[in-house]
Structure 1
Amino acid sequence: MESNLNKKYGLITAIAMVVGIVIGSGVFFKAEKVLAATGGNLLLGILAWLIGGAIMVVCAYTFSIMATRYEYVNGIVDYAEVSMGKKYGYYIGWFMSTIYYPTLTAALAWVSARYTCVLLDFNIVGPEALAITSFYLVTSYAVNALSPVLAGKFQVAATTIKLVPLLIMAVVGTIVGLSTGMTVANFTTITKQVSTGNALFTAVVATAFAYEGWIIATSINAELKESKKNLPKALVIGTVLVVVTYILYYIGLSGAVSNAALMESGQKGVRMAFEKVFSKVGGTALFVFVVISCLGTLNGLMLGCTRGIYALAARDMGPAPNVYKQVDKATNMPTNSAILGLLFCGIWLLYFYGSQLTESWFGFFNFDMTELPIVTIYAAYIPIFIMLIKKEKDLGVFKRFVAPILAICGCLFMIVAACFSHKMAVVWYLITFAVIMLIGVFFDKSRSK
């Protein structure tokens, strides 16, 4: 099979692409949760970022081994197909289309609105936040559906912009904190005593949201020079740089204000930290970059959301393939798939508001849709890694056994951590997951063959 894609990327460009794809809004959103979960224990928080990052690095490296074996395979659905067969690939695709992409897209629309509300001093769960959330969601859909080229240009711009507040706070915040003694004070003071085990599990699961996106980076292999050698390097170096950036940003925050003040301020803590270090005007300007960073992540997720059902339909799978694989000639977009993707986002946004942002509409039936779908993906990786061990008999010991076994252990850690962190909410999520996957069984064309 030949590819029309040119080998145009070198190692440095590939590393930059990995960093740009993985770094997103999660570090701003989840840094607060990591701090709160660990009771302001900075060392425990840094350990959580390290464990979550290590799991990402080893999983990314293991997938890079597969990517160099199947050079024109792109995305998790394709990896699932080549390792486990078309049926497994179909169910992964169904999950991505109906749960993974729309849950995270809906949540990111609110996260973007949340920081916009912080910027404008609005209530983050009030009618203003919901109106801005809906506006961002529909605007992101419109940009992707009507002008994919414009969406792509915005994505490139947002990738550059989102690095600015992270790097500036990491460097300047740390320098300021060391000079004032704030960093040392925060490292030596624990704001609230917590159970170390449960705190660590909760914090690690929270970091999964910030680290998500690395699987997309494996899709650059077909355009990478000497991909068999450079892709593993790019993924490992790129993901390690992300881990280092996140940890330095986390330390930089601690140099700006006390852990107690950050925990008390909640969603306003990040803005307060920026203003403390860079003055009110400078801090506000940098916080605008945080909002743009969130919008960039939303744009990327919406891109995947609009193409979710199309990816199945293009394989003649899923509901009404002839309808959802149609591509509009003017925009080169799968319009019907995009519309259905937006509908899924709307459904999940409704659930997100009713379960997380107000007095529960669903009683006890509540779960965190920003974390549990990501943990589900880690569970789905396990059979793929097992098949790598089973099938690739000509690989060396490290690539065939050590790397995938470490990756499997990392995935299992995420699953156990999610159970400890979310407790009964995991059960409600699994019930929802099972119902949606059973609907997928109804559209599984291979059952009738």
Structure 2
Amino acid sequence: MENGLEKKYGLMTAIAMVIGIVIGSGVFFKAEKVLTATGGNLPQGILAWVIGGIIMVVCAYVFATMATRYEKVNGIVDYAEATIGTNYAYFIGWFMAAIYYPTLTSVLAWVSARYTCVLLGWDIVGPQAMAISGFFLIGSYAMNALSPKLAGKFQVSTTIIKIIPLALMAVVGTIVGLSNGVLVSNFTSGVISNVTTNSPLFTAVVATAFAYEGWIIATSINAELKNAKKNLPLALTFGTIFVALIYILYYTGLAGAVSNSVMMKGGEAGAKLAFSTVFSNAGGTVLFVFVVISCLGTLNGLMMGCTRGFYSLAARDMGPATKVLKCIDENTNMPTNSSILGLLLSGVWLLYFYGANLTPVPWFGPFSFDSSELPIVTIYAMYIPIFLMLMAKEKSLNVFRRFIMPFLAVCACVFMVIAAFYAHGVKTVGCYLIIFAVIMAVGMIINSQKTK
């Protein structure tokens, strides 16, 4: 069963994976939070989306540069190994496999279920939502594990579908908002409610981080991508720029659909309310079905990364049970055992997300944190040493690629880290870092015993 991964994905799948993972739940899930964080100040909310988009594009550009030079098993782990060394590569690989992939995958399973429940008129934190979350999680795993090529085709199809509601709201919502004066009113109304944080812009930018995140997961199919050194950089660059533009335009169109106060009070039904306002109840319902499909497409892309997380370590003879986890099924050409472990951890993090964020009284006390945001900020912090070493080592690159863009990427990452402390508070971030440190220590102990 142990053999290499085949080159089975083309440029369109890679672009679809970048766009498809990023676009989906976040722009709907976090649009309300961005507006609430800024007290209904629409220009400040749009600025948050612009800053978040710039951070994503700058970091993706630097990784695109590295993608033209390094190719092995898993992009981000490859880049860490080439720039810093084996130990740091394992550190990042363990974080991605044990925390990053499963936390985001579990949240996306719930978000997909959340919008399904909104469509059906059910409680988004009730038993229906959690049962659907489990079904979506297992269903996405099954499709990736049993038929990875089908999962790739599903990724391309859902990417096309998910652009439809965003593009329609961006264009029609803006036109309607200009004609009826709602858009102008929302732009000029300023702060219309109490701001619950001292740094509303930082809080809003951190919220956009979830909406913009996922592009790095496209590098997880590096070893399965045809002509990866050419296609992966194209996918990262084109995909992230497209996402940033469509998000900003969608957010503007949303402001033309309903007033800021109505959107802020709409809660989980805010997006559906906006679509129904612009496209009528029937049209809004149809488009909201597309929203649910787009969430499932994002979940599929995350699961594509999640199933390969431990394989990328085992392929380097690192981490636990390497002989077991680097086995490739001869029929599906998938790392089956790695996939099973990824699903298990996703289930664990889904349980944590429910207990920490959806129950009336958090189960974990001070150790309850938003697993949809803080792991994302952590990965930005981990990028910093990679960018610095790229500047130090890659002497063959021109000044723009070697110094200017990596320096801007470092600044962007530092901004995200500082913003996280303002957005979530020192206490919450500190408790998260304790959990992070424990999980990372377990991973380092496992690897150190293996190398003895």
What is the one-letter code of the residue matched to 1:296?
A: G
1:24, distance to aligned residue in structure 2 (A): 2.6
The 1:380–1:226 alpha-carbon spacing in structure 2 relative to 1, beyond 3 Å, is closer
Letter in 2 for 1:319: P
Task: Supply the distance in 1 between the matched residues of 2:19 and 2:451 (Cα, whole angstroms).
Answer: 43
In structure 1, distance between residues paired with 2:385 and 2:94 = 17
Cα distance in structure 1, aligned partners of 2:330 and 2:353: 35
> How far 1:362 moved relative to its partner?
1.4
Distance 1:235 1:148, change over 3 A: closer
How many angstroms does 1:277 deviate by?
A: 0.5
Q: Which digits, 9 at most, give the CA deviation of each residue in 1:113-144, with x for residues without a partner? A: 00001000101111111111111111112222
Write the distance in 2 (CA, Å) between the matches of 1:385 and 1:238: 21
Inter-partner Cα distance in structure 2 for 1:225 and 1:325: 21
Change (3 A) 1:66 1:335: closer
Q: Corresponding residue for 1:259? A: 260
| 1:392 aligned residue | 394
Q: Residue deviations 1:271-290, cap 9 Å, x none?
A: 00000110111000000000
Gaps (5+ residues) in structure 2? none
Most deviating of 71-80 and 112-121: 71-80
Which residue is 1:96 aligned to?
Answer: 96
Scaled by the length of structure 2, what TM-score is found? 0.92
Residue by residue over 1:41-72, the C-alpha shift from the partner in whole angstroms, topping out at 9 and shown as x without a partner, is 11000110111111111111111222223366
Provide the secondary structure at the position in 2 that maps to 1:444. helix
Which residue identity lines up with residue 307 of structure 1 in the other structure? R
The residue type equivalent to 1:412 in the other structure is V
Deviation at 1:29, TM superposition (A): 0.9
- Separation in 2 of the partners of 1:217 and 1:348? 21
Name the CA distance, whole Å, in 2 between partners of 1:381 and 1:361: 32
Structure 1, residues 21-54: CA drift from partner, whole Å, max 9, x if none? 5323211111111111111111000110111111
Deviations 1:191-221, CA, capped at 9 Å, x for gaps: 2143786111111011111111222456679
**Equivalent residue for 1:200?**
201
Contact 1:87–1:446 (Cα < 8 Å) also in 2:
no
Aligned pairs for 1:28-427 within 5 A: 28-70=28-70, 74-189=74-189, 190-194=191-195, 198-217=199-218, 223=226, 227=230, 235-358=236-359, 359-423=361-425, 424-427=427-430
Structure 1 residue identity aligned to 2:412? G
Separation in 1, partners of 2:115, 2:175? 26
RMSD over aligned CA atoms reads 2.5
Aligned length in residues: 443
Q: Given residue 375 of structure 1, which amino acid in structure 2 is its aligned partner?
A: V
- Among 425, 437, 440, the alignment partner of 2:440 is 437
CA distance in 1, matches of 2:25, 2:298: 6
Identity across matched positions, percent: 66
Are 2:46 and 2:248, in contact at CA under 8 Å, matched by a contact in 1?
yes
Alpha-carbon distance change, 223 to 324 in structure 1, aligned in 2, over 3 angstroms: closer
How many angstroms does 1:160 deviate by? 0.8
Check the 8 A contact 2:310/2:325 in 1, yes or no. yes
Query: Structure 1 pair 15/158, CA: closer, same or farther in 2 (3 Å)?
Result: closer
Q: Which moved more, 1:69-78 or 1:315-324?
A: 69-78
In 2, the alpha carbon distance for the partners of 1:139 and 1:345 equals 13
Shift of residue 330, structure 1, vs aligned partner: 2.8
Post-superposition shift, 1:399?
Answer: 1.8
CA distance in 1, matches of 2:10, 2:433: 43
- Whole-angstrom distance in 1 between the partners of 2:86 and 2:326: 18
What is the distance in 1 between the residues matched to 2:49 and 2:154?
29
Q: Which moved more, 1:190-199 or 1:312-321?
A: 190-199
Q: Is the 8 A contact 1:14 1:224 kept in 2?
A: no
Relative to 1, partners in 2 of residues 1:126 and 1:15: Cα closer, same or farther, differing over 3 Å? closer
* Alignment TM-score, normalising by the size of structure 1: 0.92
Counterpart of 2:334 in 1: which secondary structure? coil
